[in-house]
Amino acid sequence: MRKAVGLILVLVVGISFWVVLKNVPFGHDKIGVGNHYIENAIQETGATNIVTSVVVSYRGLDTLGEVTVLFIAALGIGMVLFSVKKTSAKERQTSSMVVQTGTRILFPFIILFGIYIFVHGHLTPGGGFQGGAVIASGFLLTYLVWPELETKRERFGAAESLGGLVFVTIAILGLVFTGYFLGNFLPTGTQNHLFSAGIIPVIYIAIGIKVGSELAGIVADMIHKE
Amino acid sequence: MVNPSLLIAIPLAGAFLIPLFALASRRLSRYLPPLVLLADLTISLSLVPRVLEDPIIVILGGFKPPFCINLMVDMLGLSFAIIISLVSFLISIYAIGYIKTEPIEKYHALFLLLVAGAIGIVLTGDIFNLFVFFEILCISSYALTAYEKDKAGTEAAMKYLIQGAVGSAFILVAVAFIYGLFGTLNMAEIASNIDSAEPTHLFMILALFVVGFGIEAAIFPLNAWLPDAHSSAPSSISAILSGIAIKTGVYCLARISYTLMNAQELLILISLIGVVTLLVGEIAAYGQKEDIKRMLAYSSIGQVGLIVFALGVTTYLGIFGALFQVANHALAKSLLFLGTGYMIYNVGSNRLEAMEGLGRKMPFTAIAFTIAVFSLVGLPPFAGFVSKLSIIYAAVQTGQAVFIVFVALVLLATVIEAGYFFRIVQSLYFRKGVSLEYAKEAPMTALIPIAILALLIIAIGVYPQLITGALEGAARSLLERGAYISSVLGPM
Amino acid sequence: MDLVANSMYYLGAGALILIGLYMVITKNNLIKIILGLSLVDTGTHVLLIAIGYVKGRTAPILTEELLESVGEAIPKVVDPIPQALVLTAIVIGVGVLALGLSLAIKVYEHNGTLDVRKIRGLKW
């Protein structure tokens, strides 16, 4: 019965998709507002990665919202899985020596790679979210190998709140210095250099730290739950 | 003049600050939300004189629209922002004393984020930004519904999450289609180019939006999550969800059908959906003989149906009536849920029979409860009378036979509504309670917001002139698309 | 053939969305329903990127050679906006998914099962 309803619904939705998509020709040049960004991104923002300048400068409020969504998810998970008594880590199969040694060697490189990704967000593909995810995966690796490792949960929480506060503060400072919320008040610098693109690298560093500690905190909550 | 972007930035900053405060002292973090929301309320009230003349366009980042995201603070958005900040300010005062389950700092942070999302929805002028803020609202409400972490709460939150996520996916697909067809995401630019797309495509996109936002606004048949979610959440969360969150769904529907797509001919379908929702909600509420919060939740569904019905009457008076009802329902339903919170706390169960005779032990709460009930049913001299009268008069004024039928159904639904609401009032006052020795009146942190809400309902009912100016401006700004487009993009 | 090559991406994205939707509606295991939500999200992201693609152009990152071509009449890069939108949408999807999974952990703890037909504590 549910299968029949599901099939009918899927069919109706599919037909409506097809009707609209017939008129969005694939591969044709239908860039509207995007042309302005392609032509002017390098002068107005100084970042050679056009996607980064769109994400942080032109559509910065979306990024603020996105950062908030992750914050809400982390808060929600911390709240749902909250328990007053600390559950002790169950007896797990300890990882083999190969995995332990390998993790000890790899962990710093993973963190370094994550930091590289978000510091260079305005020059190469990447950015705060991608770098933060890589950092969190490094922490996930250590939790898998040493489940009793109790990196202080509060430190993750503090780092995450600080990262978010830095982002909102920069946005409000933009209001103070340039009269526009999220306005760019740092020099744009020479293109393709590390210290260029105004507030973009600063925001991305804040986001990278925030997302990294946030996702690591979510992983910690879920692992220490059982 | 204060930059309206602070209306969104201040709650966000407050929410980020709360975990840091909590490191120092957990109890202290309870007091931050009322301060933040009071600041928001004052800022939004101070903007009213300026916005009544001309909408404020806030350009973010210093680039000109449509090459940036802009906030479009017109009277419609500002009225919603005022209602949101007022109601959430009062609920946050209530929550100081009501929320006792740990971890309380996360509750308050999530609450501030919910309000930030709601205000962002009503102030933004970009359709993808609307989606992002809508997600902020939805995800915080999923998390807050599960706050009690009991069996009913987590199940209700799970159902809400699944249905809400499907709705959000539909909205995102609709945004993708709009971008594919128009090449831009700025609402004013889409609105000015809307005639370049074929009506069939616009109908499909509008249908996707209606389904997506309709799940949050809880119109029939997309309201399966609401009774569970609103009855299993802690009462202050039920209040904010019923009072604010579903209204933002209605706001999005209004913005998209009127300003964006100019779908005036299709609005009669929206009225039909509204009337059906109203009847379903009220009949279901009448059938609830046990759980009081479930009854209130079904009543919310019904009231949203009434608001959506009024939205479909495309005259100034109809939209004015819809907005007045938004204000009335936000105040009254929040009041009902806040009062019920301590009533349930006193008798230890949310069954109707357990509350018999409670009116004598909790006099203030019960009087406020009765005021809210009378207002929702539509009796003078309360706010609900003005809104229901405007809606019915506007519908009759159109002269179309369909609307006369609808009006008859609305009156029928009002009778049903009176039936179940008066049942509660009767049980509160005119029945003998069984074992109520331990019941006492609600504490001060609860009585202050309840009293203020009740006074506002009476004030607006007796002197509707207090808000008619603002709401008429709001109705005008919804109907006059040309003004919207030219404010953002410059004269055409 | 040309028609297939042109609509392949739309068909793929649409298929992902529809399969995910079907899973959400018909499956009984809570984790499978959440997986269906993830599929719907992925399909929507692919759809967005496919809408922004222009044939014969490259990624919107201005390397040295592309820097010279800025300002020419016909740009050599793909539309950057859908990419920015998808960045945001992926993060939002991850947030919802994580919250859903933690709720599923709690539901399992309370009910002992993940079968939605048996978790019917809240009736009409």
Domains and CATH numbers, chain C: 2-111 (1.10.287.3510)
Asked if A143 contacts A103 with a C-beta cutoff of 8 angstroms, the reply is: no
- How long a stretch of residues is chain C? 124
Asked if C74 contacts C54 with a C-beta cutoff of 8 angstroms, the reply is: no
Residue A110 structural domain: 68-76+96-226
A118 is a domain residue: yes
**pLDDT tens digits, residue range B234-285?**
889 999 999 899 999 999 999 998 888 887 778 888 888 999 999 999 999 8
Which residues lie closer than 8 Å to C96 by C-beta, 6 or more apart? Answer: A73, B135, B139, B142, B161, B165, B168, C37, C41
Q: Which of residues 56-115 of C touch A (CB under 8 A)?
A: 59-64, 67, 70-71, 74-75, 77, 79-81, 83-85, 87-88, 90-92, 94-96, 98-99, 101-103, 105-106
Query: Residue C118: what pLDDT?
Result: 77
Touching chains, C (3+ CB pairs < 8 A): A, B
SS3 B59: strand
pLDDT of residue C49 exceeding 60, the answer is yes
Q: How far apart are CA C25 and CA C116, in angstroms?
A: 11
Query: Residue A19: what pLDDT?
Result: 87
A10 is a domain residue: no
Asked if A207 contacts A118 with a C-beta cutoff of 8 angstroms, the reply is: yes
List of chain B residues with pLDDT < 70: 65-66, 433-438, 491-492
Q: Environment class of residue B482 by beta-carbon count within 10 Å: exposed (0-12), middle (13-18) or buried (19+)?
A: exposed
Q: How far apart are CA B80 and CA B274, in angstroms?
A: 20
Query: Residue A84: what pLDDT?
Result: 62
A168 is a domain residue: yes
Where are the domains positioned within chain B?
A: 143-489
Task: Report CA B6 to chain centroid distance, whole Å.
Answer: 21
Asked if C53 contacts C78 with a C-beta cutoff of 8 angstroms, the reply is: yes
Q: How far apart are CA C34 and CA C30, in angstroms?
A: 6
SS3 C61: strand
Tell me the one-letter amino acid at B77.
G
Q: How far apart are CA A205 and CA C8, in angstroms?
A: 38
Query: How far A105 CA sits from the closest chain C CA (Å)?
Result: 29
Query: Residue C77: what pLDDT?
Result: 84
Query: Residue B270: what pLDDT?
Result: 87
Q: How confident is chain A (226 residues) per 10-residue block, as mean pLDDT?
A: 87 89 81 82 81 88 92 92 65 75 92 91 86 92 76 76 90 83 76 77 91 89 73
Nearest CA to B388 out of B405, B407, B371, B360 is that of B407
**What's the average model confidence in pLDDT over C23-35?**
92
Which residues lie closer than 8 Å to B463 by C-beta, 6 or more apart? Answer: none
Q: How far apart are CA B280 and CA B282, in angstroms?
A: 6
How many helices (H) and strands (E) are present in chain B, helices listed first? 22, 2
SS3 B58: strand
Asked if A148 contacts A91 with a C-beta cutoff of 8 angstroms, the reply is: no
Q: How many residue contacts between B and C have a Cβ separation below 8 Å?
A: 89
- Quickly count: other Cβ atoms within 10 Å of residue A32's Cβ: 18
Whether C110 and B151 lie within 8 Å, measured CB to CB? yes
Query: Residue B168: what pLDDT?
Result: 94
Query: Residue B330: what pLDDT?
Result: 93
Q: Report the residue from B143, B172, B232 with minimal CB separation from C99.
A: B143
Model confidence at C124, pLDDT cuts 50, 70, 90, reads very low
- The strand pairing partners of C77, in sequence order, are C58
Nearest CA to B300 out of B219, B221, B416, B374 is that of B219
Which helix (H) or strand (E) segment holds residue A164: the answer is helix A153-178
- CA A129, A131, A133, A136 torsion-angle sign: negative
Query: How far A107 CA sits from the closest chain C CA (Å)?
Result: 24
- Name which of C79, C103, C105 to mutate to probe chain B: the one with the most chain B Cβ atoms within 10 A of its Cβ: C103
Q: How far apart are CA B275 and CA B213, in angstroms?
A: 17
Task: Report CA B59 to chain centroid distance, whole Å.
Answer: 27
Number of structural domains chain A divides into: 1
Query: How far C1 CA sits from the closest chain B CA (Å)?
Result: 23
In the DSSP assignment, the letter for residue B312 is T
Query: How far C75 CA sits from the closest chain B CA (Å)?
Result: 16
Which residues lie closer than 8 Å to C38 by C-beta, 6 or more apart? Answer: C20, C93, C97
- Quickly count: other Cβ atoms within 10 Å of residue B37's Cβ: 27
Q: How far apart are CA B475 and CA B314, in angstroms?
A: 10
Query: Residue B157: what pLDDT?
Result: 92
Query: Residue C104: what pLDDT?
Result: 92
Q: How far apart are CA B56 and CA C76, in angstroms?
A: 38
